[in-house]
Structure 1
């Protein structure tokens, strides 16, 4: 496996909520070992304001948050990814582009907080998604990735997801 910084892409359908949270958390918790990006199969074009509010509340920066297509990361000249995580079931089930470099992939399903009503419940749903992602990403960024095989990384990512579900 290569050495840090590792490129991570977090995918969801709309790239407005969960994947935005995960992108910011990987960059924040990764301590310079990770460069994270997020994208969607059908990007909404806007970032959910409650996602930005949640990040701000926790002091997690994402200065250039934007909803974008995963096609940007499959195009020539795009950064080569080491790891790809899907955080919603619909993106996990879609036919993904062919990613250069054969990155390690894992699915970390998180319930969609974006359409929960009323607003107070939506804010709590974003908090729940934030906590779940922070726990999983916090565990992943501490792995000795430089010394693990792709299969070992994939197995560790599955364990982290399963423990996060418990």
Structure 2
């Protein structure tokens, strides 16, 4: 039996949009069962304004910041239960060795920062990324975590990334 909350680390290369949106969303929806964090392998150092606006409109009011995944491999960092990559670059990178061997999964989400076009097109890209993350986080929240062993949890988390991606095409 795991004593809540489950600590979830969302990773992306720049830690400026997708991973910070996932962090905010899970912290709002997690209802004390989860504590979400985000980080990047090469953090940009700033959170994209549309990502921060979506998080705030959703009810997340803690400061969001772009930070390195090294912070979570340091002594005294929170023990991470789950590591979820949300960008394809981060999924292929060699991650630090996390204490406690958290389960890992990849939930690829197209980068809204790379969206081309006018301000409206960019906003739509951020909203699409937000909705894709929301569907996946809803599936995570529905898992009977207390009944899953480590291997079953890993399989379920990975299936969320694959099933949701297939549904969204």
Q: Tell me the TM-score normalized by structure 1.
A: 0.95
Deviations, residues 17-53 of structure 1 (Å, cap 9, x unaligned): 0000100111111111000000000000000001012
Q: Which residue of 2 aligns with 1:139?
A: 139
Q: Residues 11 and 3 of structure 1: is their aligned pair in 2 closer, same or farther, counting only changes over 3 Å?
A: same
Q: Which residue of 2 aligns with 1:128?
A: 128
Superposed displacement of residue 162, structure 1: 2.1
What runs of 5+ residues in structure 2 fail to find an aligned partner? none
What per-residue deviation string (whole Å, max 9, x for no partner) do you get for residues 95-140 of structure 1? 1100000000000000000131322111001111000100100110
Task: Please report how far the alpha carbon of residue 62 of structure 1 lies from its aligned counterpart in structure 2 after TM superposition.
Answer: 4.1
Distance between the aligned counterparts of 1:54 and 1:31, measured in 2? 19
Question: Higher RCO, 1 or 2 (CA under 8 Å, sep at least 6)?
Answer: 1
- Superposition deviation, residue 70 in structure 1: 0.2
**The residue matched to 1:141 in structure 2 has which SS?**
helix
Provide the rounded CA distance (Å) in 1 between the counterparts of 2:136 and 2:110: 14
Distance 2:27 2:82 in 1: 13
SS in structure 1 of the partner of residue 37 of structure 2: strand
2:98 is aligned with 1:99? yes
Please give the secondary structure, in 2, of the residue aligned with 1:63: coil
Deviations 1:35-86, CA, capped at 9 Å, x for gaps: 00000000000000010122233x2304210000000000111001000000
Moved over 6 A (4+): none
Provide the TM-score with structure 2 as the length reference.
Answer: 0.94
Q: Structure 1 residues 18, 62: CA separation in 2 closer, same or farther (over 3 Å shift)?
A: farther
The number of aligned residues is 165
Local SS of the residue matching 1:106:
strand
Which of the two has greater helix per residue?
Answer: 2
**Structure 1 residues without counterparts, runs of 5 or longer:** none
